[in-house]
Amino acid sequence: MSQCIMPDEMARPLIRGRGVGGGSGRLEASTSEPDAPVVGILGTGDFSRSLARRLAASGYQVVVGSRNPKRSAALFPEEAEVTSQVEAASQADLVFVAVFPEHHSTLVELKPTLAGKTLVDVSNGLSINRDGPSNAEQLAKLFPESSVVKGFNTISAWTLQVGPRDGNRQILLCGNNSTAKSSVMQLCRRMGFVPVDMGLLSSSLEVENLPLRLFPSWRVPVLCTLCLFAFFYVYNFLRDVLQPYIMAKKKFFYKMPIETVNATLPAVALVMLSLVYLPGLCGALLQLCWGTKYNRFPCWLDRWLTSRKQLGLCSFLCAALHAIYSLCLPLRKSAYFKLLIDSKQLKEGDVWVEAAVWRMELYLSVGIMALGLLSLLAVNSLPSVANTVNWREFSFIQSTLGYCALSMATLHTLLFGWDRAFDLARYHFFLPPTFALAVVLPLTALLGRLVLFVPCVARRLGLIRRGWEKSRHIRFDLPDEGCCNGLEDASYV
């Protein structure tokens, strides 16, 4: 169960200090092999310890170089031999440098010993480094005669300790000397990791920045969600709480925690969902205008296109919360009190309103279906599920089911609106009802999609996707237009 990520992973820094924790012990080889290749490690920190353990468990002879071997020895598995740095450097051809980058300089005395050997730099920066040079490049400058390979910085000491149990531990490697690199790749494979060759050492800056990123792809979508939420919340507050207070001194402030929120969430969810499908339509439109697919899209469209998954998941989150909030409504004391009051006041005749009944039955049921479809999409965005579907299945779910969900959600909103959009009494402060605002973008998206179904448009787009270009006036389909894997059309939104 090394894939844990809920709190037990927090044990990492603590556990690291203590060698292997419970579950991983089983993965140790009791003693290292006599004829096994020798690997050196400089530095005796947590990472070194885990590395030594994993290497030993994978049948390597490990030699650890420490400043004062005596003190450090205790911290290492018995399989690993702890000795002086020079000793370790001289014994092994492949040496891991697990030392704070700021102390790389203290290793210069090892220069002659390390000449002609392979150094693996496992270090990370403490903050994203945009302009370089990377730690690995600095190390390479320090040891010109050794061939430096960057790697292992993307995986944690914990992963090393328990071993790559989930087959999903790739190690990104880069370096200028390809023989050195392939020997490290060999070592990765033997440890059960999947090495990925990232090319020259110049990519090391990127590789070092990877583990320091904090959800870069989520920033904009989440921000967008929050802004929409703020806007609609204020809007609803004005219409449903402030207006009655100002006009009729009615105190509806108790509505703020739940009812107003619950009027805001669906609006956000719907707009976000439409934002998922609009960029695809823009893209198609541009391609139709240009008459080719080989022009680059404007940058904003690019970014928009690549953040559609996040937009979709945010929309789903809002929709789910909306469902829970709605289901909580009858729980509330306020609802209960209202009911009692009504039961006192109402006369029997005017109780049952057929239209009101139908309206609610309909929009509830449609809403449930929309939520159901959205959950299917969400489940499908789980990496492990995503990997089991092929291109056609993927595009079916995302494109076909996705548009069904959008239509359902829009219908849900329209049914909720019923005839209220045309009832002036609903325009408090002359503000149109919320659902009327929320429904604009979705309707645009749906109409846009319908337009793309028009035969002539669809056909032209099909040509473009197969590589046809307006500029060349004949229907162009040379072989070197390349293989579309039969997916171009299917995968189109």
| Cβ neighbour number for residue 282 with a 10 Å cutoff | 16
Nearest one of 47, 438, 94 to 274, comparing CA atoms: 438
Least Å from the CB of residue 72 to a second copy: 7
Least Å from the CB of residue 212 to a second copy: 6
Least Å from the CB of residue 363 to a second copy: 9
Return the number of the residue (368 or 454) whose C-beta is nearest a second copy.
Answer: 368
Q: And the tokens for 281?
A: 């339509």
Nearest one of 150, 123, 127 to 47, comparing CA atoms: 123
Return the number of the residue (116 or 482) whose C-beta is nearest a second copy.
Answer: 482
Return the number of the residue (70 or 424) whose C-beta is nearest a second copy.
Answer: 70
The SS3 call for residue 134 is coil
Return the number of the residue (295 or 459) whose C-beta is nearest a second copy.
Answer: 295
What is d(CA 230, CA 268) in angstroms, rounded to the nearest whole number?
Answer: 10
Return the number of the residue (355 or 456) whose C-beta is nearest a second copy.
Answer: 355
Return the number of the residue (431 or 460) whose C-beta is nearest a second copy.
Answer: 460
Return the number of the residue (228 or 272) whose C-beta is nearest a second copy.
Answer: 272
Least Å from the CB of residue 391 to a second copy: 5
Least Å from the CB of residue 175 to a second copy: 9
What is d(CA 172, CA 154) in angstroms, rounded to the nearest whole number?
Answer: 7
Inter-residue long-range contacts of 64-67, CB under 8 Å, 24+ positions, other chains counted? 64/40, 64/88, 65/40, 65/41, 65/89
Q: And the tokens for 462?
A: 């099909």
Least Å from the CB of residue 21 to a second copy: 5
Q: And the tokens for 202?
A: 């110049």
Least Å from the CB of residue 235 to a second copy: 19
Return the number of the residue (362 or 431) whose C-beta is nearest a second copy.
Answer: 362
Classify strands 170-175 and 147-150 as parallel, antiparallel or unpaired.
antiparallel
Least Å from the CB of residue 474 to a second copy: 14
| Cβ neighbour number for residue 283 with a 10 Å cutoff | 18
Return the number of the residue (375 or 427) whose C-beta is nearest a second copy.
Answer: 375
Q: What is the CA radius of gyration of the chain?
A: 31
CB 69 within 8 Å of CB 16: no
Count CA within 13 A, CB hemisphere, residue 424. Answer: 0
Least Å from the CB of residue 303 to a second copy: 6
Sheet containing 194-197: give its strands across. Answer: 81-84, 61-66, 38-42, 94-97, 118-121, 147-150, 170-175, 194-197
CB 147 within 8 Å of CB 115: no
The SS3 call for residue 224 is helix
